[in-house]
Structure 1
Amino acid sequence: MVKTVKEIVSEIKEIMALRGGLKHVYFVACGGSKAAIFPGLYLLQSEARSFGATTYTSNEFVHAVPKELDERCLAVICSLKATPETVEAVKTANRAGAITIAMTGNMETGMAKVGQYVVTYSNGDEQIYSDSNQSNSLRIGFELLHQLEGWDKYEKAMDAYKYIDDIISEGKEHLLADAREWAEREKDEPIFYVLASGPNYGVAYSMCCCHFMEMQWKHAVCLHTGEYFHGPFETTDKELPMVLLMSEGRTRALDERCLRFLNTYAKNFIVIDFKELNQGRIDADVAEFFNPVVLIPIERYYVAQMAEIRGHSMDDRRYMWKVEY
């Protein structure tokens, strides 16, 4: 029987109670999956009072195993089709005595075969975003906070899921003209800067590493809006293509500071703002945690317009899955 996230966390709670309590959650993945589990990491680092949370890229987790990893730890490990080093990361956590949740595309992947618990998520062209990998990393985090700490925002968080698919669908429709205009203007540019903070830093990583670099073979730099002013802003000029991902939540002030600077010293930039997309539908108390659930498909939508205009499919690869690496 396939267990729900709520049921899985309930069992983990009982097991951890016998072991002295949960002390740490590790979020482990690589590439797009690492961006996808970032929402759960950000949530727990922000809200958890009795346990910590850390992220690792899969192969580093395997080769530089944290000494803290033991039976009082939970490892949430994600890969759509079971990337070999991510499967090995699950095995590494299992050997250390940790409880493992394998997040993956279906119950037949190598991830599903080695995880102690399995959470599958919607994927592909007809993806249901309220059941995506991003959404489910959050579900795990929300349930941990609710069941282990009695988190007071749980009901608002659960209510938010009913808005996600409409926000994304409406956002794509509303932004199509802007996305096409941007893509036509920037299609021949070789490098892009993507700026974000807080919950959206994983979105910036996704846009740079997965969508620009992997899928369009364009150079991209991922920058935190708080760190932008500590060196990187010296490269800003009127020609450099930049994308600012504006958050709704506690770190919006960092993004607004960046926007003020760009309005003064830059010219060739666009802003993708979760707050404008949300329009107050997801409660302000929990909206920040849902930023990446909405913005990853939206920023990908922008790059997809560029792919179409350039005639460079998002599925084209030079090396991935084709050569030994």
Structure 2
Amino acid sequence: MTDGTYVGPHAVTPIPDDVVSSQEQALSLWPAIDNHIGGLEADINRVFLVGAGGSYLAMVPAQWVLDKHSNIPAVTFNSDEFYYRKPASVGPNSLVVALSGTGNTPETIRAAEWAAAEGAAVVGVTLKAEGPLAQSLETSFVAETGQGTQILLQLVALAVLKRENVDIGPMHEALHALPTALLASLNALEPRAAEIAREMKDVPVTNVLASGPLFGAASTFTMCYLQEMQWKHAATINADEFFQGPFEVIDEDTKTIVFLGEDETRPMGERVQRFLSTYGGETFYVDSTDIPLPGVDQRQRPYVLPLVFHAWMARLAAHYAAARGFTLEGRRYMWKVEY
């Protein structure tokens, strides 16, 4: 660790007081999003979700919804891969959604500008109206927090579905119930976050297993929070890919984190659970069935839970920082050296 990141174990930072308001602000942009996407004159026959790092991983829930409900093919690209590969189907009949929280990610700006030059309809999602991404595009939607950008991505996806005459009513209602439900879930999950951080803070390699729409949140935790901000070796393993090699590193001394959702891929996680209960060491399950979501229709829980897990990653990271004593602001290389 370099100087300036270690402050010693300390009390965890509180849950931000803008959890509800920032989501409500994002929800208020639905008319603008609906009007823009619905008003696109060209037929849309391909959707590209483009971002880098945490923004790339944040696309997983939106990709999942489009895959599940839309007949329009959708694909998620890392920003530079999108730019350098230059998919032939990018053009007047494609929609490109470019996400950069800071709005400063050069790879994403370049990718978005290239797509626009090819004639694609390009929409930016960001936290900075004055940032380079928003300034470089004709249309951007601006949230206040990461929870807000997740809402905006879902609203864009719902607007695409609405163009196809898909009934989005139940999902739209679930999103409107999410702000207060998310706050309740974060409060309920605080003890679990504290326990995982306390028991896992010193393991040499942190493996997190997840499936389906929870894979993005799990990867955000290992790559953005543990590797980038805590400088810990960590990996996210798809629950099915676990049995294609990674399970060979498991023994009674390994500690593992497993996310269990309520979507169609839950059996993949339950298969992991059966194996680890026989051959693994201490395992920390975060089972979505234990998470309260007051006001959300039971049938829509699988739809909103990926957004809950994405928000909870920040809380889990805050507990790691408190238990380990290393701040989330420290970096060795990012923004400091030429790369």
- On whether the aligned pair clears a TM of 0.5, the verdict is yes
Partner of 1:8: 33
1:301-324 CA distances to partner (integer Å, 9 max, x unpaired)? 122211112110011111111111
Deviating more after overlay: 171-180 vs 182-191: 171-180
Does the CA contact (< 8 Å) of 1:167 and 1:277 recur in 2?
no
**Residue 176 of structure 1: how far off its partner (Å):** 2.5
Q: Which amino acid aligns with 2:94?
A: C
Map 1:156-175; keep pairs closer than 5 Å. Answer: 156-175=170-189
1:237-265 CA distances to partner (integer Å, 9 max, x unpaired)? 22222111111121111111211222222
CA distance in 1, matches of 2:255, 2:129: 41
Deviating more after overlay: 162-171 vs 208-217: 162-171
Matched, 1:215 2:200: no
Matched, 1:66 2:81: no
CA distance in 2, matches of 1:302, 1:200: 15
Matched, 1:188 2:188: no
Does the CA contact (< 8 Å) of 2:52 and 2:79 recur in 1?
yes
CA distance in 2, matches of 1:280, 1:246: 19
CA distance in 2, matches of 1:166, 1:12: 27
CA distance in 1, matches of 2:258, 2:158: 28
Shift >4 Å, 4+ stretches: none
3-state DSSP class of the match of 2:154? helix
**Residue 98 of structure 1: how far off its partner (Å):** 0.2
Matched, 1:246 2:246: no
Map 1:101-116; keep pairs closer than 5 Å. Answer: 101-116=123-138
Map 1:141-160; keep pairs closer than 5 Å. Answer: 141-146=157-162, 148-152=163-167, 154-160=168-174
3-state DSSP class of the match of 2:112? helix
Does the CA contact (< 8 Å) of 1:8 and 1:117 recur in 2?
no
**Residue 280 of structure 1: how far off its partner (Å):** 7.3
Does the CA contact (< 8 Å) of 2:37 and 2:156 recur in 1?
no
Map 1:159-308; keep pairs closer than 5 Å. Answer: 159-278=173-292, 281-308=295-322
Q: Which amino acid aligns with 1:222?
A: T
Change (3 A) 1:15 1:266: same
Count of residues paired in the alignment: 312
**Residue 297 of structure 1: how far off its partner (Å):** 1.9
**Residue 156 of structure 1: how far off its partner (Å):** 1.2
Which residue of 125, 133, 140 corresponds with 2:149? Answer: 133
Deviating more after overlay: 274-283 vs 25-34: 274-283
Change (3 A) 1:300 1:15: closer
Map 1:29-44; keep pairs closer than 5 Å. Answer: 29-44=51-66
**Residue 279 of structure 1: how far off its partner (Å):** 5.2
**Residue 281 of structure 1: how far off its partner (Å):** 4.5
**Residue 216 of structure 1: how far off its partner (Å):** 0.8
CA distance in 2, matches of 1:14, 1:287: 30
**Residue 190 of structure 1: how far off its partner (Å):** 2.1
CA distance in 1, matches of 2:232, 2:139: 38
Q: Which has the higher contact order (CA 8 A, sep 6+)?
A: 2
Deviating more after overlay: 214-223 vs 285-294: 285-294
Matched, 1:81 2:106: no
Matched, 1:92 2:117: no
Q: Which amino acid aligns with 2:139?
A: Y
Two-structure CA RMSD over aligned residues (Å): 2.0
CA distance in 1, matches of 2:238, 2:317: 20
3-state DSSP class of the match of 1:108? coil
Q: Which amino acid aligns with 1:28?
A: V
3-state DSSP class of the match of 2:291? helix
CA distance in 2, matches of 1:265, 1:276: 25
Change (3 A) 1:92 1:298: same
3-state DSSP class of the match of 2:59? helix
Does the CA contact (< 8 Å) of 1:42 and 1:289 recur in 2?
no
Does the CA contact (< 8 Å) of 1:6 and 1:143 recur in 2?
no
Change (3 A) 1:155 1:94: same
**Residue 133 of structure 1: how far off its partner (Å):** 1.4
CA distance in 1, matches of 2:89, 2:165: 25
CA distance in 1, matches of 2:206, 2:280: 13
Uncovered stretches (5+) of structure 2, i.e. residues with no partner: 1-25
Under a length normalisation based on structure 1, what TM-score does the superposition of the two structures give?
A: 0.90
Q: Which amino acid aligns with 1:272?
A: V
